[in-house]
Amino acid sequence: MKKIIAIPIIAFALLGSINGHTQRTPEDLAIITFYCFQENNLDSFYRLIPTVNEIRDAGGTAGVDTNSAGYKEFVAEYPSVIDRFKEQCIAIENDSARLHFSWTNSNLDSIEISERNIPMDNRDPNSKTVVVTILDIYFTSNNRLLRLTLGDANKYNGLWKPGNRIALSKP
């Protein structure tokens, strides 16, 4: 019984301080993400998205040539990337009808964390790579197991934040 009670208490604490003080681990980010979708509170989830300044700073920290045309183009296009990410989130929220489940009645099951190296510039075969963290958030609804994936979570200034890859699937 304590486990069942603990998850809502943890979720309430995480959602209550969604301003960034709690996503110190990938697990924190995964829990916050799940409960934002469950509570139809995407605006709170959107506040976790890295800002243009955080993206710019992360590139410099990773050793990227921040003066390159490609990097400047990426930073300039970042707001439209965020708009597309938000559209994906809304589509995922609405996919519950197509997949015959209810976010409201869903229960967090487990979280799997993995890492992979991706090139910073897909067009350059000699591009530096960056390690991204993939969060697979498993949950049940109507006795069905589903997976919400954050495909490129990363740490910015000590806090875990989503990237721009998110997907909902049946495992």
The per-residue pLDDT for range 104-115, each reduced to its tens digit, is 999 999 999 999
d(CA 15, CA 53): 24
Count other Cβ atoms within 10 Å, centred on residue 13: 11
Q: How many CA atoms lie within 13 A of 117 on its CB side?
A: 5
- Overall average pLDDT of the 58-80 stretch: 85
Residue 21 scores a pLDDT above 70:
no
Residue 1 scores a pLDDT above 50:
no
d(CA 154, CA 132): 6
Q: Do β-strands 159-161 and 107-119 pair in parallel, antiparallel, or remain unpaired?
A: unpaired
Percent of the chain with pLDDT over 70: 85
Domain ranges in the chain are 2-169
Q: Which residues, 6 or more positions from 141, have their beta carbon under 8 angstroms from its beta carbon?
A: 96, 101, 102, 103, 105, 106, 107
Please state, in angstroms and as integers, the Cα–Cα distance from residue 10 to each residue in 18, 31, 38, 50, following that order. 12, 9, 14, 23
pTM: 0.82
Higher pLDDT, 13 or 100: 100
Residue 134 scores a pLDDT above 70:
yes
Count other Cβ atoms within 10 Å, centred on residue 85: 16
